[in-house]
Amino acid sequence: MEQTMRNFFLFLSKNKPMTKLAKKYGLRFGAGRFVAGSSIDQAVEAIRQLNSQNLVVTIDYLGEFVDNEQEANEMALECVEAIRAIGREKLKSQLSLKMTSMGLDLSEDVVMKNMRMILEEATKQDVFVTIDMEDYSRCGKTIEIFKRLKSEYDNIGTVIQAYLYRTEKDIEELNAYSPNLRLVKGAYKESPEVAFPDKKDVDDNFKKIIKMHLLNGNYTAIATHDDVMIDYTKKLVEEHNIPRDQFEFQMLFGICVERQHELVKEGYKMRVYVPYGTDWYGYFMRRLAERPANVAFVLKGVLKK
Protein backbone atom coordinates (compact mmCIF):
# COMPACT_ATOMS: atom_id res chain seq x y z
CA MET A 1 0.00 0.00 0.00
CA GLU A 2 2.82 2.40 0.92
CA GLN A 3 4.60 1.81 -2.41
CA THR A 4 1.31 2.31 -4.29
CA MET A 5 0.81 5.67 -2.57
CA ARG A 6 4.38 6.66 -3.32
CA ASN A 7 3.98 5.84 -7.02
CA PHE A 8 0.66 7.71 -7.14
CA PHE A 9 2.08 10.94 -5.70
CA LEU A 10 5.22 10.73 -7.85
CA PHE A 11 2.94 10.39 -10.89
CA LEU A 12 0.98 13.47 -9.79
CA SER A 13 4.22 15.43 -9.25
CA LYS A 14 4.88 15.38 -13.01
CA ASN A 15 1.35 16.42 -14.02
CA LYS A 16 1.66 19.77 -15.82
CA PRO A 17 -2.07 20.71 -15.77
CA MET A 18 -2.17 20.15 -11.99
CA THR A 19 0.99 22.24 -11.62
CA LYS A 20 -0.70 25.14 -13.42
CA LEU A 21 -3.83 24.85 -11.25
CA ALA A 22 -1.72 24.81 -8.10
CA LYS A 23 0.12 27.97 -9.14
CA LYS A 24 -3.22 29.65 -9.80
CA TYR A 25 -4.91 28.76 -6.51
CA GLY A 26 -1.96 29.14 -4.18
CA LEU A 27 -0.73 27.33 -1.07
CA ARG A 28 -3.74 25.33 0.06
CA PHE A 29 -4.58 21.84 1.31
CA GLY A 30 -1.66 21.59 3.73
CA ALA A 31 1.21 22.68 1.48
CA GLY A 32 1.91 25.61 3.79
CA ARG A 33 3.43 23.19 6.26
CA PHE A 34 6.27 22.43 3.85
CA VAL A 35 6.54 25.71 1.88
CA ALA A 36 7.46 29.04 3.52
CA GLY A 37 5.08 31.21 1.54
CA SER A 38 5.00 32.47 -2.02
CA SER A 39 7.37 35.47 -1.78
CA ILE A 40 10.95 36.15 -0.73
CA ASP A 41 9.66 38.43 2.06
CA GLN A 42 7.75 35.51 3.56
CA ALA A 43 10.80 33.27 3.17
CA VAL A 44 12.98 35.87 4.94
CA GLU A 45 10.63 35.84 7.94
CA ALA A 46 10.82 32.04 8.09
CA ILE A 47 14.62 32.15 7.90
CA ARG A 48 14.83 34.74 10.67
CA GLN A 49 12.74 32.54 12.93
CA LEU A 50 14.85 29.46 12.19
CA ASN A 51 18.11 31.37 12.67
CA SER A 52 16.86 32.57 16.05
CA GLN A 53 16.61 28.89 17.03
CA ASN A 54 20.24 28.26 15.98
CA LEU A 55 19.17 26.54 12.77
CA VAL A 56 20.89 27.48 9.52
CA VAL A 57 19.00 27.39 6.23
CA THR A 58 19.14 26.84 2.51
CA ILE A 59 16.29 28.41 0.52
CA ASP A 60 14.91 27.27 -2.80
CA TYR A 61 12.72 29.32 -5.11
CA LEU A 62 10.52 26.56 -6.45
CA GLY A 63 10.12 26.11 -10.16
CA GLU A 64 9.58 23.22 -12.57
CA PHE A 65 8.61 22.71 -16.21
CA VAL A 66 10.36 25.86 -17.52
CA ASP A 67 9.36 25.93 -21.18
CA ASN A 68 11.19 28.95 -22.60
CA GLU A 69 14.21 31.18 -22.11
CA GLN A 70 12.20 34.06 -20.67
CA GLU A 71 10.88 31.87 -17.85
CA ALA A 72 14.38 30.55 -17.15
CA ASN A 73 15.75 34.10 -17.01
CA GLU A 74 12.96 35.16 -14.66
CA MET A 75 13.74 32.22 -12.36
CA ALA A 76 17.42 33.21 -12.36
CA LEU A 77 16.54 36.80 -11.43
CA GLU A 78 14.41 35.52 -8.54
CA CYS A 79 17.46 33.61 -7.30
CA VAL A 80 19.58 36.77 -7.53
CA GLU A 81 16.95 38.64 -5.48
CA ALA A 82 16.98 35.87 -2.88
CA ILE A 83 20.78 36.06 -2.62
CA ARG A 84 20.60 39.84 -2.18
CA ALA A 85 17.97 39.43 0.53
CA ILE A 86 20.21 36.96 2.37
CA GLY A 87 23.09 39.41 2.21
CA ARG A 88 21.02 42.48 3.05
CA GLU A 89 19.33 40.88 6.05
CA LYS A 90 22.53 39.10 7.17
CA LEU A 91 20.76 35.76 7.28
CA LYS A 92 22.47 32.45 7.96
CA SER A 93 21.28 30.95 4.71
CA GLN A 94 22.47 29.39 1.50
CA LEU A 95 20.62 29.02 -1.81
CA SER A 96 19.51 25.84 -3.57
CA LEU A 97 18.24 25.68 -7.14
CA LYS A 98 17.32 23.25 -9.91
CA MET A 99 19.09 23.20 -13.26
CA THR A 100 15.80 22.74 -15.12
CA SER A 101 14.53 26.02 -13.69
CA MET A 102 17.68 27.69 -15.04
CA GLY A 103 17.11 26.35 -18.56
CA LEU A 104 18.80 22.93 -18.54
CA ASP A 105 16.22 21.47 -20.93
CA LEU A 106 16.48 24.46 -23.27
CA SER A 107 20.17 24.87 -24.02
CA GLU A 108 23.57 24.81 -22.39
CA ASP A 109 24.11 28.47 -23.24
CA VAL A 110 20.98 29.51 -21.33
CA VAL A 111 21.73 27.49 -18.21
CA MET A 112 25.40 28.55 -18.06
CA LYS A 113 24.54 32.22 -18.55
CA ASN A 114 22.00 32.11 -15.74
CA MET A 115 24.23 30.12 -13.40
CA ARG A 116 27.17 32.48 -13.86
CA MET A 117 24.93 35.48 -13.16
CA ILE A 118 23.70 33.83 -9.95
CA LEU A 119 27.16 32.75 -8.82
CA GLU A 120 28.64 36.21 -9.46
CA GLU A 121 26.04 37.74 -7.14
CA ALA A 122 26.48 34.91 -4.63
CA THR A 123 30.22 35.59 -4.58
CA LYS A 124 29.58 39.29 -3.83
CA GLN A 125 27.19 38.41 -1.00
CA ASP A 126 29.25 35.47 0.32
CA VAL A 127 26.36 33.03 -0.24
CA PHE A 128 26.89 29.35 -1.02
CA VAL A 129 24.83 27.81 -3.85
CA THR A 130 23.83 24.15 -4.14
CA ILE A 131 22.64 22.63 -7.41
CA ASP A 132 19.79 20.26 -6.55
CA MET A 133 19.75 16.90 -8.30
CA GLU A 134 16.73 15.94 -10.37
CA ASP A 135 15.73 12.71 -12.13
CA TYR A 136 18.17 10.26 -13.68
CA SER A 137 17.76 11.61 -17.22
CA ARG A 138 19.31 14.91 -16.06
CA CYS A 139 21.85 13.54 -13.60
CA GLY A 140 24.84 13.29 -15.95
CA LYS A 141 24.30 16.74 -17.46
CA THR A 142 23.91 18.29 -14.01
CA ILE A 143 27.17 16.79 -12.77
CA GLU A 144 29.06 17.93 -15.86
CA ILE A 145 27.77 21.50 -15.44
CA PHE A 146 28.73 21.38 -11.76
CA LYS A 147 32.29 20.36 -12.68
CA ARG A 148 32.60 23.26 -15.12
CA LEU A 149 31.25 25.79 -12.65
CA LYS A 150 33.35 24.41 -9.78
CA SER A 151 36.46 25.20 -11.81
CA GLU A 152 35.31 28.85 -11.93
CA TYR A 153 33.68 29.37 -8.51
CA ASP A 154 34.37 28.12 -4.98
CA ASN A 155 30.91 28.77 -3.56
CA ILE A 156 29.08 25.93 -5.29
CA GLY A 157 28.06 22.38 -4.43
CA THR A 158 25.66 19.77 -5.70
CA VAL A 159 23.58 16.77 -4.62
CA ILE A 160 24.25 13.05 -4.99
CA GLN A 161 21.47 10.44 -4.72
CA ALA A 162 22.11 7.11 -3.02
CA TYR A 163 19.47 5.16 -4.93
CA LEU A 164 21.31 5.36 -8.27
CA TYR A 165 23.74 2.62 -9.31
CA ARG A 166 26.13 5.24 -10.74
CA THR A 167 26.53 7.11 -7.46
CA GLU A 168 29.62 5.39 -6.06
CA LYS A 169 31.50 6.11 -9.29
CA ASP A 170 30.28 9.73 -9.24
CA ILE A 171 31.64 10.17 -5.69
CA GLU A 172 34.99 8.77 -6.78
CA GLU A 173 35.24 11.04 -9.83
CA LEU A 174 34.06 14.17 -8.02
CA ASN A 175 36.68 13.75 -5.29
CA ALA A 176 39.20 15.47 -7.57
CA TYR A 177 37.14 18.66 -7.16
CA SER A 178 37.11 18.53 -3.31
CA PRO A 179 33.35 19.08 -3.54
CA ASN A 180 30.83 20.15 -0.95
CA LEU A 181 28.07 17.58 -1.50
CA ARG A 182 24.60 17.06 -0.11
CA LEU A 183 23.97 13.31 0.11
CA VAL A 184 20.36 12.11 -0.12
CA LYS A 185 18.50 8.85 -0.72
CA GLY A 186 16.59 10.20 -3.74
CA ALA A 187 12.97 11.25 -4.31
CA TYR A 188 12.13 10.48 -7.94
CA LYS A 189 10.54 7.39 -9.44
CA GLU A 190 13.29 5.62 -11.39
CA SER A 191 13.60 2.43 -13.40
CA PRO A 192 15.25 -0.59 -11.71
CA GLU A 193 17.67 -0.42 -14.64
CA VAL A 194 19.27 2.69 -13.14
CA ALA A 195 18.28 2.66 -9.46
CA PHE A 196 18.13 0.22 -6.56
CA PRO A 197 14.50 -0.94 -6.26
CA ASP A 198 14.86 -2.23 -2.68
CA LYS A 199 15.05 0.08 0.33
CA LYS A 200 17.76 -1.99 2.02
CA ASP A 201 20.08 -1.58 -0.95
CA VAL A 202 19.45 2.18 -1.02
CA ASP A 203 20.19 2.41 2.71
CA ASP A 204 23.39 0.37 2.36
CA ASN A 205 24.57 2.57 -0.51
CA PHE A 206 23.70 5.71 1.46
CA LYS A 207 25.93 4.56 4.32
CA LYS A 208 28.69 3.70 1.85
CA ILE A 209 28.74 7.13 0.18
CA ILE A 210 28.52 8.99 3.51
CA LYS A 211 31.64 7.12 4.64
CA MET A 212 33.42 7.58 1.31
CA HIS A 213 32.87 11.30 1.12
CA LEU A 214 33.72 12.01 4.76
CA LEU A 215 36.88 9.89 4.70
CA ASN A 216 37.93 11.67 1.50
CA GLY A 217 38.08 14.76 3.71
CA ASN A 218 35.31 16.65 1.91
CA TYR A 219 32.48 18.69 3.41
CA THR A 220 29.40 16.51 3.67
CA ALA A 221 25.74 17.40 4.17
CA ILE A 222 23.77 14.35 5.27
CA ALA A 223 20.21 15.15 4.22
CA THR A 224 17.89 12.68 5.88
CA HIS A 225 15.11 12.26 8.42
CA ASP A 226 16.13 8.65 9.04
CA ASP A 227 17.38 8.17 12.61
CA VAL A 228 19.34 5.10 11.52
CA MET A 229 21.37 7.21 9.09
CA ILE A 230 21.82 10.00 11.61
CA ASP A 231 23.08 7.56 14.26
CA TYR A 232 25.35 5.88 11.71
CA THR A 233 26.91 9.25 10.87
CA LYS A 234 27.41 10.13 14.53
CA LYS A 235 29.24 6.85 15.20
CA LEU A 236 31.29 7.15 12.00
CA VAL A 237 32.60 10.64 12.73
CA GLU A 238 33.41 9.68 16.31
CA GLU A 239 35.26 6.53 15.23
CA HIS A 240 37.37 8.40 12.66
CA ASN A 241 37.79 11.66 14.62
CA ILE A 242 36.10 13.69 11.90
CA PRO A 243 35.62 17.30 13.09
CA ARG A 244 32.09 18.66 13.33
CA ASP A 245 32.93 21.52 11.00
CA GLN A 246 33.37 19.00 8.15
CA PHE A 247 29.73 17.94 8.04
CA GLU A 248 26.17 18.95 8.79
CA PHE A 249 22.73 17.40 8.91
CA GLN A 250 19.95 18.69 6.70
CA MET A 251 16.18 18.26 6.94
CA LEU A 252 13.14 19.67 5.18
CA PHE A 253 11.13 22.61 6.45
CA GLY A 254 8.17 21.38 8.48
CA ILE A 255 9.37 17.78 8.90
CA CYS A 256 10.87 16.25 12.09
CA VAL A 257 11.08 19.67 13.70
CA GLU A 258 11.73 18.30 17.19
CA ARG A 259 14.57 16.16 15.87
CA GLN A 260 16.13 19.23 14.26
CA HIS A 261 16.22 21.01 17.62
CA GLU A 262 17.63 17.94 19.34
CA LEU A 263 20.57 17.84 16.94
CA VAL A 264 21.27 21.53 17.55
CA LYS A 265 21.28 20.93 21.31
CA GLU A 266 23.73 18.08 20.76
CA GLY A 267 26.10 20.52 19.08
CA TYR A 268 25.63 19.52 15.44
CA LYS A 269 25.10 21.95 12.60
CA MET A 270 21.51 21.53 11.43
CA ARG A 271 20.42 23.10 8.12
CA VAL A 272 16.75 23.41 7.14
CA TYR A 273 15.78 23.27 3.46
CA VAL A 274 13.20 26.05 3.08
CA PRO A 275 11.30 26.21 -0.25
CA TYR A 276 9.11 29.14 -1.28
CA GLY A 277 7.28 30.40 -4.35
CA THR A 278 4.09 29.79 -6.29
CA ASP A 279 5.35 26.74 -8.21
CA TRP A 280 5.11 24.46 -5.18
CA TYR A 281 3.02 21.58 -6.52
CA GLY A 282 5.72 19.15 -7.74
CA TYR A 283 7.77 19.62 -4.59
CA PHE A 284 4.71 19.09 -2.39
CA MET A 285 3.71 15.87 -4.18
CA ARG A 286 7.21 14.42 -3.70
CA ARG A 287 7.04 15.19 0.02
CA LEU A 288 3.74 13.31 0.23
CA ALA A 289 5.30 10.42 -1.68
CA GLU A 290 8.25 10.22 0.71
CA ARG A 291 6.32 9.98 3.97
CA PRO A 292 2.80 8.56 4.37
CA ALA A 293 2.54 10.45 7.66
CA ASN A 294 2.59 13.65 5.62
CA VAL A 295 -0.57 12.53 3.80
CA ALA A 296 -2.37 11.98 7.11
CA PHE A 297 -1.31 15.43 8.29
CA VAL A 298 -2.60 17.11 5.14
CA LEU A 299 -5.94 15.27 5.21
CA LYS A 300 -6.40 16.23 8.85
CA GLY A 301 -5.74 19.88 7.97
CA VAL A 302 -8.17 19.84 5.06
CA LEU A 303 -10.98 18.31 7.13
CA LYS A 304 -10.58 21.03 9.73
CA LYS A 305 -11.28 23.78 7.16
Q: Which domains does the chain have, with CATH numbers?
A: 36-279 (3.20.20.220)
51-65, 83-97, 99-113, 124-138: the lowest-pLDDT one: 51-65
Exactly one of 60, 132, 170, 279 is catalytic; name it: 132
Q: What is the pLDDT of residues 163-221, one digit of tens each?
A: 999 999 999 999 999 999 999 999 788 999 999 999 999 999 999 999 999 999 999 99
Alpha carbon distance 172, 199 (integer Å): 23
Q: What is the pLDDT of residue 38?
A: 83
Residue 14 pLDDT:
55
Active site residue 132: yes
Helix, strand or coil for residue 15?
coil
CA distances 296 to 29, 97, 187, 234, 305, Å, are 12, 29, 19, 31, 15
Q: What is the 3-state secondary structure (H, E, C) of 55-84?
A: CEEEEEECCCCCCCHHHHHHHHHHHHHHHH
Among residues 205, 146, 203, the alpha carbon closest in space to that of 174 is found at: 146
From the list 60, 170, 182, 271, the catalytic residue is 182
Is 28 annotated as catalytic? no
Q: Out of 19-33, 51-65, 176-190, 247-261, which region has the weakest mean confidence (pLDDT)?
A: 19-33
State yes or no: pLDDT of 30 exceeds 50: no
Residue 90's SS3 state is coil
Confidence of residue 305 (pLDDT cuts 50, 70, 90): very low
Predicted model pTM: 0.85
- 39, 47 contact by CB (below 8 A): no
CA distance linking residue 214 with residue 287, whole number of Å = 27
Considering only CA atoms, which of 238, 235, 234, 258 is closest in space to residue 248?
Answer: 234
pLDDT at 304: 38
CB atoms within 10 A of CB 28: 11
Calpha distance 246→66 (Å, rounded): 35
Q: How much of the chain, in percent, has pLDDT values that exceed 70?
A: 80
Residue type for position 258: E
pLDDT tens-digit map of 253-283: 988 899 999 999 999 999 999 999 876 666 6
Lowest mean pLDDT among 176-185, 244-253, 288-297: 288-297
- Asked if pLDDT for residue 285 goes beyond 60, the answer is yes
